[in-house]
Amino acid sequence: MAKPIEVREMNEEERQTIQKWMNARTAPRWQVERAQMIWYASQHQSARQIGQQLQVDAETVSRWVHRFNEAGIAGLADEARSGRPSIYSVEEVSVVVQTALTDPQTLELPFGSWTLDRLKNYLNEVKGIAIKRSRIGEILLKEGLRWRQQERWFGVRVDPDFAQKRGRLLNSTKDRRPRASSCVSMN
């Protein structure tokens, strides 16, 4: 049996925070996953067992438990990374997330759901935030939101006048009569 990973004794506030994060439905995935690592480690599980449960490397589990042991709850947050700093303010990021969570029809827009292109156009034109669709996707993922695949509906149409607006259907392929066999026997 693998040796349990050592996690320091948690105070009551840390224990409550870890349990709250583990059960949060709207928290970012990284936060829930790291809280689970600490909780399972406190239950005397090995890094390998925890890694298998959460589908991460045992090294990843060890790193986060070590950071928790050193810095507590604050150690579970991402550290600053090198590279260009974000050019969007907290307020602008908040507007992006709020807009993505808003039904477009409540904003009197002519569509029922957002796409990244529609969201980009709305933010650029109406909100005055010059942002690319790839950056919108990154922001939403960082906030724990996932973009749904576009649904395709068959059957009843949302617009009852669709058939009239569409016009007459034309056959895209013509009916073909079966042809006689082209094989000729020469005896």
Q: Which helix (H) or strand (E) is 63 found in, with range? A: helix 58-71
Q: What pLDDT does residue 27 have?
A: 84
Give 69-78 contacts, CB < 8 A, sequence gap 24+.
69/6, 69/7, 69/8, 72/14, 73/14, 73/17, 73/18, 76/31, 76/34, 76/35, 76/38, 78/30
Looking up tokens 């060890």 gives 62
Instruction: Indicate if 65 and 94 belong to the same structural domain.
Output: no
Q: Is residue 149 part of a domain?
A: no
Q: Is residue 35 part of a domain?
A: yes
User: Quick check: 119 and 133 in contact, CB under 8 A?
Assistant: yes
Phi, psi of 74 (to 5 degrees): -60, -30
Instruction: Indicate if 97 and 72 belong to the same structural domain.
Output: no
Q: How many domains does the chain divide into? A: 2
Instruction: Indicate if 28 and 51 belong to the same structural domain.
Output: yes
Instruction: Indicate if 68 and 101 belong to the same structural domain.
Output: no
Q: What pLDDT does residue 183 have?
A: 56
One-letter amino acid for residue 25 of the chain: R
Angle, to 10 degrees, between the axis of helix 58-71 and the axis of helix 47-54? 110
CA-CA distance, 47 to 52, in Å (whole number)? 9
Q: Is residue 50 part of a domain?
A: yes
Q: What pLDDT does residue 149 have?
A: 57
Which range of residues forms the domain containing residue 32? Answer: 12-76
Q: Is residue 185 part of a domain?
A: no
Domain boundary among 32, 48, 76: 76
Per-residue pLDDT tens, the chain, 187 aa: give them.
Answer: 678 888 999 999 999 999 999 988 888 889 999 999 999 999 999 999 999 999 999 999 999 999 999 999 999 988 877 777 768 888 999 999 999 999 999 999 988 888 889 999 999 999 999 999 889 988 988 888 876 655 555 555 566 676 677 677 666 556 666 666 555 555 5
Q: Is residue 155 part of a domain?
A: no
Q: What is the chain's Cα-based Rg?
A: 28
Instruction: Indicate if 100 and 69 belong to the same structural domain.
Output: no
In 3D space, the residue among 7, 2, 13 whose CA is nearest the CA of residue 36 turns out to be: 7
Q: Is residue 147 part of a domain?
A: no
Q: Is residue 150 part of a domain?
A: no
User: Quick check: 16 and 39 in contact, CB under 8 A?
Assistant: no
